[in-house]
Structure 1
Amino acid sequence: MKRTALATSLSRALFCVALLPAGFASAQQVAPDGGNATDLTATDPKNLDKVVVQGEITYRNRTEDTAPVLRYDLEYFQRFEPNTVGDMLKRVPGVAFVGSDIMEFDGAMMRGMAAGYTQVLVNGKKVPGAGDDRSFWVDRIPAEMVDHVEILRSNSANRSGDAMAGTINIVLRDAYVFDGSYIRVGANRWYDGEINPTFGAVTSGDFLGGRILAGINVQDRYRAKIKRSDRYADPSMDELVSWEDQNEVKDGRDYSGNLSWTTDVGETGRFGIDGFFVKTDRDVTEVSHEVEYDDDVIESNVPGFNPVDQVNWGIGAEYRFDMAGGTTSFDLDHARFEDNSAVREEKHEYVNGEWDASEAEAQSVDAVDKETGFTLAHKRALGAAELEFGVDWRSKKRDITYTNFEWEADNEGDPVVYELDGSIGSLIEETRVDPYVMVSGKRGAFAWEAGLRYETTKSDIRYREDGEAEGSANRDYNSLLPSLHLKWDLDEATRINFSLAKSIKRPNFNELVPAVLDGEYGDNDYIGNPLLEPESANGLDLGFERRLGKSGVVGVNFFYRDVKNLIELVNTGEWSEDAQDNYEDDLEEFLDDNPGASEDDFEFEPESWLFTSANVGDGKVYGVEFDLSTPLTALGLPDTGVFLNYSWLDSKVEDFIGNRRFNDQARSVYNVGFIHDMPALQASFGATYRKQGDAFSRIVAEEVTVKYGADLEVFVEKRFGETVSLRLSAANLLDASKDEFFNKFDNLDDQIDRDFDEYEVESEQAGPSYQVVLRWAF
């Protein structure tokens, strides 16, 4: 109660400042991302035909924000015809995708930190996603819906502090910014010969006293890959224990749309409504053949099927107007993620060529994750500076149920008839009230911004098994998040940015639920910990940026994060349920074989345990990010643009064995490419090459190294007049592979002693893909 009262009192005190006299009214809106949005006096929307036929090469935008922000318009990426935001983000500095399947880009990882450390916003607003780690899968948003992408390297007080690695703000096309219409039709061809269509259309114009923009997109999402796994007794690879061949096909379709309507209200006000909708229907089919060498040869056929039915949608309303000598804004938004997917897998086992057993498991997912937010803010002059203050209220409700099924055959050829094997579900509700205040100003070549944000979180956690309530927990915590940004313009072309900010990462949802999950980590069980504290980090960013000629830009940025209360997997010291069952069975056998003996005489070494998550200590993350995008005008090649970014990433954590980097942090990620325009022929072509370094993770009883091959993409474009363009693009031309190396152990003691249970080498490939796209503006 004290925390809530403090937050309420602070927010009331901040709004009382709105009644003070002000020297002048702000002439600009407050953008959702905290920067300046469209000027209220602007009247010239951008013609959509310029999106279709690009007369010039587009480079990275140089923003005037005091905070360190990189902005990339869709046109920066579009000539390579990205299908999703994930395809776009693989070309920006410091974003890695570790864990994604080959040729897929879903969980964006800024600074190489796990996806849950990166905040993803849509139109400056938080959106729920599929990940237990609170991440949002960026491949859910089609590229055609996007106006631009912002990379926010450090926190500001007027944004949520859940951005330890940084923030990606996906800004969708807005009715006020665009005018005109176009359609996009195309097809993708995959390495196995499958051809899939794609279609999109966008229109914008005057409507009901304002401006409206509407877009639809339908694209088949297909990916076929082959996977090979070889399992050995240890890393010497002298003894092959088993192997597996697998073919996987992901075949589905995404339906998406976005809508924006904006109108001026009176002389100074503006009201807008925006929304987006994405529906994913996909079937994932796997066929595996496994061979295990024991005293006998054990062969298994393992077919699997995973139907995916997911929906993301969100809607928001914004109203801004001049009031009390400043600009006041009201923002209301609601977003929802729904998942009704399933997975099932059969296993038919043969020993020395004779049928031995058939069994199957299945699981269905019923999940609804929804967020509702309201922001009230005011911006006004404060002497020579500018004052912004407000309060964010947000309610989140995540309800998810996993229902399990099983089947076992009595005879070969028996039909698969699943029987219910129980269910487990959880309901997590979070309420946040976050007041903030921020002051900014500029004097000569110096600009500054300083702010405080006070985030309060009230959590209610309930879990159930087989439909019956099993327990609940409550957790309240608060965080004071200061931020400071400085910008020094050395001259018109050169600037230095310096930022200090505190950020947090709330625990993953599955880490909070105190329900026992059987065999969650190999043979080990897991139970969540509702008493976890959020991780926090004091962060520093120091950047240098210089404009090159008229449109080029080069920048370098150093970052450092000092992380406290790091959450990691730990052993509770309690036996797993399997270990307890084995103990009872072995004890009974021991007593039967040894009349007169007692339980005290029985020796038992458990091979599996009960794990949980805990705040284990501190960590450090640091690195350097470099980016360059410029025409080669100085070399006499004004129609050739080059693009280069390179990020060196490192970190330090001390775990139960010793020092290591943050789990799954790639050592580096870089991209280099060019575009050459031929104005006389109305044509252009280009290529881009991307590579990310190795990543390593270590948890109790398992260590994994992940390596990705290089990705080469090319395109060639022909323009017809000012309204039609035709592009042919190709991706993964080097047929890159994803290779994983697993060190597996029975328990922590074996891991420390390097007594291997198994060493596995797994590789997957998906082959090149080709895409042809026709755009027509009208």
Structure 2
Amino acid sequence: MRSQILPTIPRVVRPASWTLTPVSRLLLAASCGATFFPSWAQAQTAQPSTPATDLGRIEIRGNRDNDTEVRRESTAAKIVIGREEIEKQGDATLGEVLKRLPGVTLGGAPGRGGAIRMRGLGGGYTQILMDGERVPPGFSIDSLTPEQVEKIEIMRAPTAETGARAIAGTINIVLREGQKANPDDLKITRTQEHGEGSSQVNWVHNLKTEPLGGTFTLSAMDQYRPDESHTLTETDTGDERQKDVKAVGHRKAIHANARLQWRGEQGKTLTLTPFLIYSEYEALGQIQSRQLSGPSVLLSDSANTRNRSIFSMGRLNGQWAQRLSADDRLEVRFGVGQSKYDYRFDQTGATTPLLLNTFETQNFVDKSYSLNGKWTRAMENGHQVVSGLELEGVRRVEAANAAVSEDGGDLQARTFRWAGYTQDEFKINPNWSAHGGLRYESILTEGTNEQGFKSNHSAVLTPLLHAVWKPDADKRDQVRMSLTRSYKTPTLYNLVARYVPSREPNSPTRPDRVGNPDLRPELATGVDVAFERYLASGGVLSANVFRRNISDLIRYTTALNTSTNKWVSTPMNVGDAVTQGLELEAKFRLDQAWTDALPIDIRSNVSFFHSKVLQVPGPNNRLDQQPSMTANFGGDYRLRSLPLTLGGNFNWNPDYDTRRSDQQWAYQGTKQVLDVYALWKVSAATGLRLTVSNLTPRDYITGTSYIGHSVSEVARTTTPNWRMVQLRLEMKI
């Protein structure tokens, strides 16, 4: 199958002037050749040619090389993805960009976005920052378009400055910065998926005034998306039920943000970043439920569904920076924001116990603020000391009602966080650099719901150490090492969530949910070791191994509440866990490896993960939703004879089972997504891009099961997904 997707090229090639060492060969073969391109590994056995002295070809290194240089010079491990790579594939959402990055996966069905996960770990293990600040409550990364983003930074190990709530790592999204010399960007997009059409317009305007500079970004979308799922549930009593769900969702949204920067004398700068989102969503659908077998009378039922929501968010972030002396710099950041969400779900027309007539409403208002101060001092012997203090508060007021039962109610909650840190980055000698830090963070969460007042307080001290060793200071090979302490805090809903009943008849695989105010934070001790080779032509080869020892793991467990005779899922600290893995990456241009090859930009990565929860019996007692591996292979080729660029990417995650407790199991099916694109440059300022996402769609299968306490139930869900065709006009004005 792989050879059909990526056929080998029957062509004799010879290596270029940079030599492949045994380590380089291993990285290339493991991260792309051995996985996707078998003939490449064979081609590397050819003898290197004599270094050429022909100077007839001159290359100009662009932004991608600058991003690679930033990565190389950073003491703490950092991968930088710039504008060139962000916009290359023509993605509609930022999540589609992230899924191709090393070690990053998305939850949910293929092509449908989902929670961002580093090293297969999400749900609080992966820290998401925007311009160096934690994203505000209710914010979804998929609400950002790639046009709003300047660069993406991936940090595999935490630092004192960026925060230690990053057991899996940190993703920092930096919004667009204004460039006075750049023209405006205008992109008009039309998308078709399974008979439903969507439209989107993106505009980026660069200010060209002094002393005020910056950029405005505006995105508007009118989107229709089909949704469909089929669930088969079987029990030990012989009951077999089939539920079919079909709906079409319609979303209208407008996103606007700006980055305004004033530069004064003596290094003074003031940056303001307003951010606005408004979104309306409505989905109309139908549910059909049938009892296929069982000891009782066979039933059949159907219901109509209507899902409506309105989300709005406004936020203003600011930064004041001032140079106090030649060696000292002060930076103050602040942020204020509010988000509002109104939601209603109706399920009507049901006449049997197979389906429930449901009327749910929920609305909440989140208000948040933050204030951070940071002092940086350059000292003797190459030391750079950074110290800071952070304050953050969130207050939520929520009202909810669920007519499916008598449960429901209001929630009022607040979270207050403060942190202090200091770190020192210094160069020991030409071969060694180090980065050490210490961070203390305290979080207080309080809330009142229908069950009364709840409170939780946690405080964690985290030491962090990073080092870089260059065996030869004059060459471009280096080894990174990190020893860190990180943690994951329970979310607001983990702690004080109101009682949420299931929309379907209560069962072990369809339980009610409730929070737990007695949760403790998860703590992790981590080790990372990486080898990196930076190629003279701008490419990079890397291999990274990591391990995290986690204590007080939080996991939802399902049990029967004997007082109400209902199955309830509650978060619990279940014990300890271990996760470890190997991450390989190769990025380069093919003709810089072999001079007779086509000038194809190759980007490939493959990651292998293994984990186990020590208190859960095996096999498959892995951490939730962590696959055994994830892989990407992509390339881009610009034709010499035509103003045409072709490219694509293949993303693959294998299927796997997870044993969540003695009685609970979960299954995640294989995910494979092939995306291709073609960009025709009509002129220097105008281009026409055709993108086909999920070119070879296949059904996505998930499942849950509960076997124990004289009860057995298995539910298996099949979610179809479809090919998406997108046509975009790109103009520079």
Aligned partner (choices 585, 590, 594) of residue 627 of structure 1: 585
2:261 equivalent in structure 1: 262
Most deviating of 448-457 and 317-326? 317-326
Mapped partners of 2:690, 2:63: distance in 1: 17
Shift of 1:639: 2.5
Most deviating of 213-222 and 447-456? 213-222
2:368 equivalent in structure 1: 371
| Residue pair 2:77, 2:480 contacting (<8 A) in 1 also | yes
Residues 225 and 473 of structure 1, relative CA distance in 2, 3 Å threshold: closer
User: Structure 2: which amino acid aligns with 1:248?
Assistant: A
Residue deviations 1:427-448 (CA, integer Å, cap 9, x gap): 2212222111111111212211
- Can you give the 5+ residue segments of structure 2 that lack an aligned partner in the other structure? 1-59
2:151 equivalent in structure 1: 148
Residues 312 and 627 of structure 1, relative CA distance in 2, 3 Å threshold: farther
| Residue pair 1:450, 1:483 contacting (<8 A) in 2 also | yes
Mapped partners of 2:239, 2:455: distance in 1: 49
**Does 2:638 align with 1:677?**
yes
Counterpart mapping for 1:102-117 below 5 A: 102-117=110-125
Aligned partner (choices 391, 394, 409) of residue 392 of structure 2: 394
Greater relative contact order (Cα 8 A, min sep 6): structure 1 or 2? 1
| Residue pair 1:127, 1:314 contacting (<8 A) in 2 also | no
Shift of 1:148: 0.9
| Residue pair 2:407, 2:500 contacting (<8 A) in 1 also | no
1:279 equivalent in structure 2: 278
User: Structure 2: which amino acid aligns with 1:551?
Assistant: G
2:216 equivalent in structure 1: 214
User: Structure 2: which amino acid aligns with 1:629?
Assistant: K
Shift of 1:170: 0.9
Mapped partners of 2:155, 2:315: distance in 1: 22
Q: Secondary structure at the match of 2:613?
A: strand
Residues 165 and 313 of structure 1, relative CA distance in 2, 3 Å threshold: farther
Residue deviations 1:578-599 (CA, integer Å, cap 9, x gap): x2xxxxxxxxxxxxxxxxxxxx
**Does 2:576 align with 1:618?**
yes
Residue deviations 1:391-416 (CA, integer Å, cap 9, x gap): 1111122333321235xxxxxxxxxx
User: Structure 2: which amino acid aligns with 1:553?
Assistant: V
Mapped partners of 2:137, 2:631: distance in 1: 27
Aligned partner (choices 451, 468, 471) of residue 437 of structure 2: 451
Mapped partners of 1:178, 1:480: distance in 2: 46
Structure 2 length normalisation: TM-score? Answer: 0.84
Residues 631 and 610 of structure 1, relative CA distance in 2, 3 Å threshold: closer
Counterpart mapping for 1:175-190 below 5 A: 175=178, 179-190=182-193
Q: Secondary structure at the match of 1:710?
A: strand
Residues 674 and 635 of structure 1, relative CA distance in 2, 3 Å threshold: same
Counterpart mapping for 1:25-44 below 5 A: none
2:252 equivalent in structure 1: 253
Comparing both structures, which one devotes a greater share of its residues to strand?
1
Mapped partners of 1:768, 1:55: distance in 2: 36
Counterpart mapping for 1:573-588 below 5 A: 575-577=562-564, 579=565
Aligned partner (choices 595, 606, 612) of residue 652 of structure 1: 612
Shift of 1:516: 4.7
Most deviating of 725-734 and 502-511? 502-511
Residues 233 and 462 of structure 1, relative CA distance in 2, 3 Å threshold: closer
Shift of 1:67: 0.6
| Residue pair 1:106, 1:137 contacting (<8 A) in 2 also | no
Mapped partners of 1:675, 1:730: distance in 2: 15
Aligned partner (choices 200, 203, 222) of residue 202 of structure 2: 200
Residues 724 and 56 of structure 1, relative CA distance in 2, 3 Å threshold: farther
User: Structure 1: which amino acid aligns with 2:104?
Assistant: V
Q: Secondary structure at the match of 1:343?
A: strand
Mapped partners of 1:84, 1:118: distance in 2: 19
| Residue pair 1:401, 1:425 contacting (<8 A) in 2 also | yes
Shift of 1:609: 5.5
Shift of 1:571: 6.8
| Residue pair 2:184, 2:204 contacting (<8 A) in 1 also | yes
Mapped partners of 2:162, 2:261: distance in 1: 23
Q: Give aligned pairs, total.
A: 656
- Can you give the 5+ residue segments of structure 1 that lack an aligned partner in the other structure? 1-53, 131-135, 351-355, 407-419, 580-607
Mapped partners of 2:681, 2:354: distance in 1: 61
User: Structure 1: which amino acid aligns with 2:422?
Assistant: V
Mapped partners of 1:358, 1:152: distance in 2: 46
1:311 equivalent in structure 2: 312
1:479 equivalent in structure 2: 460
Mapped partners of 1:178, 1:732: distance in 2: 37
| Residue pair 2:528, 2:544 contacting (<8 A) in 1 also | yes
Counterpart mapping for 1:278-677 below 5 A: 278-292=277-291, 293-294=293-294, 295-324=296-325, 325-349=327-351, 360-384=357-381, 385-406=383-404, 421=406, 423-442=408-427, 443-463=429-449, 465=450, 470-491=451-472, 492-513=475-496, 516-518=499-501, 522=507, 526-570=513-557, 575-577=562-564, 579=565, 608=566, 612-633=570-591, 634-636=593-595, 637=597, 639-655=599-615, 657-658=617-618, 660-677=621-638
Mapped partners of 2:685, 2:614: distance in 1: 58
Shift of 1:695: 4.2
Shift of 1:545: 1.3
Mapped partners of 2:495, 2:685: distance in 1: 54
Q: Secondary structure at the match of 1:341?
A: strand
Shift of 1:81: 1.0
Mapped partners of 1:299, 1:563: distance in 2: 47
Structure 1 length normalisation: TM-score? Answer: 0.79
Shift of 1:357: 9.6
Mapped partners of 2:243, 2:111: distance in 1: 21
Mapped partners of 2:133, 2:362: distance in 1: 26
Residues 240 and 716 of structure 1, relative CA distance in 2, 3 Å threshold: farther
User: Structure 1: which amino acid aligns with 2:189?
Assistant: G
Mapped partners of 1:654, 1:569: distance in 2: 16
Residues 514 and 314 of structure 1, relative CA distance in 2, 3 Å threshold: closer
Shift of 1:514: 7.3
Shift of 1:508: 2.5
Residues 704 and 147 of structure 1, relative CA distance in 2, 3 Å threshold: same
Residues 111 and 322 of structure 1, relative CA distance in 2, 3 Å threshold: same
Shift of 1:159: 1.8
Shift of 1:80: 1.9
| Residue pair 2:444, 2:458 contacting (<8 A) in 1 also | yes
Percent of residue pairs identical? 21
Q: Secondary structure at the match of 1:497?
A: strand
Residues 318 and 279 of structure 1, relative CA distance in 2, 3 Å threshold: same
Q: Secondary structure at the match of 1:348?
A: coil
Shift of 1:610: 5.6
CA RMSD of aligned residues (A): 2.7
2:694 equivalent in structure 1: 732
User: Structure 2: which amino acid aligns with 1:161?
Assistant: A
Larger radius of gyration: 1
Aligned partner (choices 61, 79, 98) of residue 88 of structure 2: 79
User: Structure 1: which amino acid aligns with 2:258?
Assistant: L
| Residue pair 1:105, 1:138 contacting (<8 A) in 2 also | no
Residues 313 and 85 of structure 1, relative CA distance in 2, 3 Å threshold: farther
Residues 225 and 649 of structure 1, relative CA distance in 2, 3 Å threshold: same
Q: Secondary structure at the match of 2:641?
A: helix
Most deviating of 311-320 and 480-489? 311-320
Mapped partners of 1:528, 1:422: distance in 2: 14
User: Structure 2: which amino acid aligns with 1:83?
Assistant: A
User: Structure 2: which amino acid aligns with 1:368?
Assistant: V
| Residue pair 2:299, 2:354 contacting (<8 A) in 1 also | no
Mapped partners of 1:393, 1:656: distance in 2: 38
| Residue pair 2:556, 2:571 contacting (<8 A) in 1 also | yes
